[in-house]
Amino acid sequence: MNTICSIVPPHVLKRIATNGTERQRDRALRAMSMAGRMRERRQILGSLRFGYTPSGELSRTVYDAHRSEELPGTRARGEGDRAVDDVDVNEAYDGAGSTYDFYREVLDRNSIDDQGMRLDSSVHFSVDLDNAFWDGTQMVYGDGDGEIFERFTASIDVIGHEMTHGVTQYTAELEYRDQPGALNESNSDVFGSLVKQWSMKQTVEEADWLIGHGLLLPNIHGQALRSMKAPGTAYDDPVLGKDPQPDHMSRFVTTAADRGGVHINSGIPNRAFYLAATAIGGYAWEVAGKIWYTTLTQRLQGDSQFADAAAGTISVAGELYGDGSSEQEAVRNAWEEVGVLVAG
Amino acid sequence: MRVTVERSGGFAGITKTASVDRDALAPADAETMDELVRDVDDAAPIADAPSQERDRFEYSVTLETGDGLRTITASESQASPSLRRLIEWVVSTADRSGS
């Protein structure tokens, strides 16, 4: 810790935090955290996020919310800091790093906004919270209740899922309801799963295609929260109930809950991705991942429906690999198999 | 009077429901229920502000009275303090009575 900053007057810290180099800024923000100047710190972070000059570097900070609902909490680990004595903090840090590396190396994207946006995460949010979420600027993780759910940092695809909500926010801006919302959720599952597959160097046959594997405690009858391979089969438990995801348009769920079933009907596009990726074979991120990413960032928009995602991925596959290519056929067949397109 | 709380969404997308029937409550609890419901009635309507939040819980609270049904929906972070108090009370009371 540098003690110099803590004797610098607040207005100077503010100026450094706003205008300084990344290193200076980080120190100033840290000093403001230590000095309890959280409100000003948040304002500066907010404005930085808005007009942030690209650093081109990975810049992670993990905060501890100490079981409160105040964000971001106190700083627990910053970029380059050694591991700390808190597994949640280290998992959030490592998972953000793997996700950043995945986007950078595989998809040539520099962080959430493609401008090197800093990656902030808070752990220990609220009390025994069975959830993880993206708040529009950062990742947030609950501890889980300890009876059904583990801590939400325990599964790397959850971290990739939350960061991808940020990517979608900066690209397709898919509305968070009904089919656009289910596409928003599905893209988070697709890239969350790809982060895991890429970090473990798994082929399509080796991958488990599960979302949230390891989040359910051993006494719960279930292997994960969602299955991209077989939506609707991830869990079946007396307390949790049964996985409600459909695997085909004929079983599309019409509901007012969950903003029109955004976490439910995502099973349909999830399975389309699984089918396309396995038909193409090899590593899912190399071909299918690129097709889906190009579609998310260049074809989809706020009100896009499943049929738009199908048309978009088929046209992108044609551009990248040729019209009538086996890759394009694999994508078309996948959307037909889940009933989004009618075979013909 | 009956109050039903449905929580949906969240990363897991699991929908849970809890319900409390005033007739089944001890007098003191029934009084608490009346107060909590009255507070919600008095609270300003919840603005459905556009939000960039993703994977938060969604609440749907249904108040079933002699006058009919009234349903209030709100995302976790947009629920008013009085609605949150009612939600927490219904969930803990329903847990206690095993309904």
User: CA of A91, closest CA in chain B: separation in Å?
Assistant: 18
Q: Which residues of A are catalytic?
A: 162, 263
- In the A/B pair of chains, how many CB contacts fall below 8 A? 75
Question: Is the CB of B10 less than 8 angstroms away from the CB of A263?
Answer: yes
Identify from A183, A262, A266 which residue to disrupt to test chain B contact, counting B C-beta atoms within 10 A and taking the largest count. A262
Residuewise pLDDT in 10s, chain A (344 residues): 333 334 454 455 555 555 555 555 555 555 555 444 444 555 555 545 444 445 578 999 999 999 999 999 999 999 999 999 999 999 999 999 999 999 999 999 999 999 999 999 999 999 999 999 999 999 999 999 999 999 999 999 999 999 999 999 999 999 999 999 999 999 999 999 999 999 999 999 999 999 999 999 999 999 999 999 999 999 999 999 999 999 999 999 999 999 999 999 999 999 999 999 999 999 999 999 999 999 999 999 999 999 999 999 999 999 999 999 999 999 999 999 999 999 87
State pTM to two decimals.
0.87
Instruction: Provide the 8-state DSSP code for B52.
Output: -
Report CB contact under 8 Å: A184, B54.
yes
Question: Which tokens sit at A25?
Answer: 């800024």
Greatest alpha-carbon span in chain A? 72
Q: Cβ of B17 under 8 Å from any chain A Cβ?
A: no
Please state the φ and ψ torsions of residue A325, each to the nearest 5 degrees.
Answer: -65, 160
Q: How do the domains of chain B map onto residue ranges?
A: 2-43+55-97
The set of residues, in sequence order, having a beta carbon less than 8 Å from that of A268 and lying 6+ positions away, is: A182, A186, A231, A246, A247, A248, A249, A252, A306, A338, A339, A340
Residues within 8 A of A (CB atoms), B 22-41 only: none
The ipTM of this complex is 0.91
Instruction: Give the per-residue pLDDT at A2.
Output: 37
Residues in chain A closer than 8 A to B51 (CB atoms): 136
Residue A75, classed as helix, strand or coil, is strand
Q: 241-260 in A: which are within 8 Å (CB) of B?
A: 241, 244, 256-259
